Chains A and B, each alone.
Chain A
Amino acid sequence: MVDAALESPVSVGPRRRSALRRALQRKSTIAFLMTLPLLLLVALLVLYPALYSIHLATLNKSMERFVGFGNFLFLFKRETFWMVVQQSCIFAITAVIFKALIGFIVAHFVHNIPSRGQRKWRGMLLVPWVIPPAMSCLAWLWLFDPSYSALNWLLALFGVGPVPWTGEAAWARFSVILVNVWIGAPFFMIMYLAALKSVPEQLYEAAAIDGANWWQRMWYVTLPMMRNIMAITALFSLIVTFANFDIVRILTAGGPIDRTHVFATWAFWIGIQGNDIPLGASVSLFMVPILTVAAVFILRDINRRAGEMS
């Protein structure tokens, strides 16, 4: 209402300059100008490329001719593509399940010990998350080295091995997931620990008075109270794990014989190294469906939280 009242003198001719100044001083104009850099950044370097990749995916290799769904049909006929789909799903789902599980268990152990020592343990256990993934993957690569593997040396003490960590398809898949779990589990631990701390102590007291045992307290108090944060953490992790690039790229580069490629690494292999940008773009677009599903759920959660706040 006030804005409209301010706007009316704009049409008066001679006072044009001051009207412009007044328009610039209006609250909504200032606010818009303050968000403008953000909008430009997102529009030019996130939204435009995202839409542009759809356009690219419909071109032929030399990017001169429109081929419609040609690239997708070509992919559907290739066995490697279906393998990559399968591997991406196995990689993401298994990794997230184990990250959540280990994070949950470790969070409980940290929560169990006296609060004096918790800080120290929490600090130690989050280290894998803090080290840049590219660096820690190099350490794992060295631990997995075919001839000097320090892990195999340890296993040999128990008479096991040697294990071909990155040499055989099944083991390579295991190794890649192991490293992902190693990097991501501490993050789950931190999130779950925060959730555990937010459960009011009275609920446990009430449950104890009602004679609930450990399982019942877990099932009827802890889990329902943590459900939201567990779901949202897992969802986020699923997105990021599904789109993961660093780990597979550094540890196996997709090998042996494409057996560990995920969407991101395969798209890089085809699009940048193989110089077939349209086909690479088509491969990476297959990440969109799962991202959309996750985004819908996250959006629902945000809206619900906003509803609770107001």
Chain B
Amino acid sequence: MTAASLTTDATPPRGCKYGSMSRDRRWALRWSYVFLTLFAIFFLMPPVYMLITSLKTSAEISAATNPWWVYHPTLGNYAELLTSRMYLTFFLNSALVSVIVVTITMLISIPAAFALSRMRFWGSATLATGVFLTYLIPETLLFIPLFKMFALVNEHLGIQLINRWWVLLLLYPTLTVPFCTWIMIGYFASIPKELDEAALMDGANYRQILTRVFIPVALPGLIAATIFAFTVSWAQFLYPLAFTTSADQLVLPVGIITTLTKGDVFNWGQIMTGALLGAAPPLIIYAFLMDYYIAGLTAGATKG
């Protein structure tokens, strides 16, 4: 109210200035678009170049022509990869690992988040912070001791864990569960207490409160956490590189790098096709669920 009255008071002497301000604004807008375009070119150059290369034949790739243009587009690389048993195995392994890890993550982190945010018990607040801190321990610190631990398990129990794709099902949850629990604690904590009190009054038990009230209400958070868990397990590179070696056990990122980049001559057309197809699932999810994806990112200052 005061602001409005102030501006009306000030209008008469500032008549001409107002016009210049709007011109400034227009110029600022124009420059914003110019710079945004430049940044967009920088940010989108590698994926676009992936696409360009994937449409070329090997002969065209090694020809001394403009690398940024496709003269004889072909889908040969795609046809070859999508019929290659090895590549399909990588893709299947990746898909299997990611889907199972997402399921495990949700089964662990939803009950934990519910318990930590609503059913206060001794040490629950400390535990919630502790969960978040474990998220800060990077996998690059853990892979060497884990490698040794798995070797010892094999020695004493006779269970071979190294070079088995399913060992990733044990490892990936360590990357996804702490953060997903953290997000879910945040979402659950924002649900008004009256809601679960009302459910309690109606005779619901804790399981019913969780499945009938909390999960439906916190669904956006649940979707964000799911997307996070999926993208992390799809993109993870260090663990599969350290713990799996034979071609039929590899997941996509490691598979492309260790099998397609072997030998003296890299077949770049195929590598780029493989990489682009490997980047497709997260990109598709992102394209359709962008708002949830971004909500997950900004929810708790993620890894960056």
What is the predominant secondary structure among interface residues of chain A facing chain B?
A: helix
Is the Cβ of B304 less than 8 Å from the Cβ of A132?
no
* Distance (whole angstroms) from the CB of A201 to the closest CB of chain B: 10
List chain A residues, Cβ under 8 A from B40: 121, 124-125
**Alpha-carbon separation in the docked complex, A38 to B278 (Å):** 30
What does DSSP make chain B's interface, helix, strand, loop or mixed? Answer: helix
Given A136-B279, A277-B147, A284-B141, A239:B136 Cβ within 8 A? yes
Question: How many residues from B make CB contacts under 8 Å with A?
Answer: 98
The verdict on A109 contacting chain B, using a C-beta distance below 8 Å, is yes
Closest residue of chain B to A286 (Cβ to Cβ) is B141
Within 26-67 of A, Cβ neighbours of B (below 8 Å) are at 27-28, 30-32, 34-35, 37-39, 41-42, 45-50, 52-53, 56, 63
B217 touches A (CB below 8 Å): no
Beta-carbon contact of A143 and B49 below 8 Å:
yes
| Cβ-neighbour of B62 out of A123, A148, A267, A281 (below 8 A) | A148
Most central of B119, B138, B256, B268 by chain A CB within 10 Å: B138
Q: Which one, B45, B235, B242, contacts A268 given CB within 8 A?
A: B242
Cβ A56 vs Cβ B148 within 8 A: yes
CA distance A105 to B36 in the complex (A): 10
Instruction: Tell whether A1 is near chain B: CB-to-CB under 8 Å.
Output: no
Q: Are A284 and B108 in contact (CB under 8 A)?
A: no
- Judge if B253 is at the interface, Cβ distance under 8 Å: yes
Give the CA-CA distance A192 to B141 in the complex, in Å.
Answer: 29
Q: Is A165 located at the chain interface by the 8 A CB criterion?
A: no
Does B225 make an interface contact (CB < 8 A)?
no
Does B78 make an interface contact (CB < 8 A)? no
Give CA–CA (A240, B235) in the complex, Å. Answer: 15
Out of B33, B136, B237, B298, name the residue touching A245 (CB < 8 Å). Answer: B237
- A223 on the interface (CB 8 Å rule)? no
Query: Per a CB cutoff under 8 Å, which of B121, B130, B298 touches A191?
Result: B298
| CA gap between A233 and B300 in the complex, in Å | 10
CA distance A310 to B206 in the complex (A): 24
Produce 1/0 per residue, B283-294, CB < 8 A to A.
Answer: 100110010011
**Are A38 and B108 within 8 A (Cβ)?**
yes
- B91: which A residues are within 8 A, CB to CB? none
Q: Mark A220-264, 1 if CB is under 8 A from B, else 0.
A: 000000000100110011011001111001100000000000011
Q: How far is the CA of A187 from the CA of B120 in the complex (A)?
A: 34
Least Cβ–Cβ distance between B177 and chain A, in angstroms? 6
A84 at interface, CB cutoff 8 A: no
Closest to B210 in A: A34
Which positions 250-280 of chain B face chain A at CB distance < 8 Å? 253-254, 256-257, 268, 271-272, 275-276, 278-279
Residue B144 is within 8 A (CB to CB) of chain A in the complex: yes
Segment of A5-13, A72-80, A166-174, A290-298 in the binding face = A290-298
**Could you say which residues of chain B place their CB within 8 Å of the CB of A188?**
304
Let me know if A34 and B112 touch, CB within 8 A: yes
Q: Are A139 and B138 in contact (CB under 8 A)?
A: no
For window 60-89 of B, CB contacts with A under 8 Å fall at 61-62, 66-68
**A287 in the interface (beta carbon within 8 A):** yes
- Mask of A164-194 contacts with B, CB within 8 angstroms, 1/0: 0000000000000000001011111011001
Q: Size of chain A's interface in residues, with CB distance under 8 A?
A: 104
Interface residue? B171 (CB, 8 A): yes
Task: Check B272–A139 contact: CB distance below 8 A.
Answer: yes
The 8 Å CB contact of B46, one of A102, A125, A140, is A140
Query: Is the CB of A142 closer than 8 A to any CB of chain B?
Result: yes
**Contact between chains at A41 and B237 (CB < 8 Å):** no
Residues of B within 8 A of A233 (CB): 301, 304
| B47 with A131: CB separation less than 8 A | yes
> By the criterion CB–CB under 8 Å, are A150 and B149 in contact?
no
| CB 8 Å contact bits of A99-110 with B (1 = contact, 0 = none) | 100100110011
A38 touching B181 in the complex, CB below 8 Å, given contacts A134-B257, A139-B46: yes
Instruction: Find chain A residues with CB under 8 A from B39 CB.
Output: 102, 106, 109, 125
A24 adjacent to chain B (CB < 8 Å): no
A138 touches B29 (CB 8 A): no
Chain A residue with the shortest CB-CB distance to B178: A42
B159 on interface, CB distance cutoff 8 Å: no
Residues of B within 8 A of A130 (CB): 231, 279, 282-283, 286, 293
Q: A28-B119, A45-B146, A123-B287 are in contact. List 18 more A-B contacts (CB 8 A).
A: A27-B206, A34-B112, A38-B131, A42-B174, A45-B142, A45-B173, A50-B137, A56-B144, A109-B32, A148-B268, A153-B68, A190-B294, A191-B298, A209-B6, A243-B141, A245-B237, A250-B257, A267-B144
- Return 27 A-B CB contacts under 8 Å, by A number: A30-B206, A32-B115, A35-B111, A37-B111, A41-B173, A48-B149, A50-B141, A50-B142, A106-B39, A113-B29, A124-B40, A125-B40, A127-B283, A131-B47, A134-B257, A138-B271, A138-B275, A153-B67, A187-B297, A206-B3, A239-B138, A240-B303, A245-B237, A281-B144, A284-B140, A291-B138, A302-B132
Which are the 5 A-B pairs with shortest beta-carbon distances? A243-B138, A132-B235, A134-B253, A264-B140, A187-B304
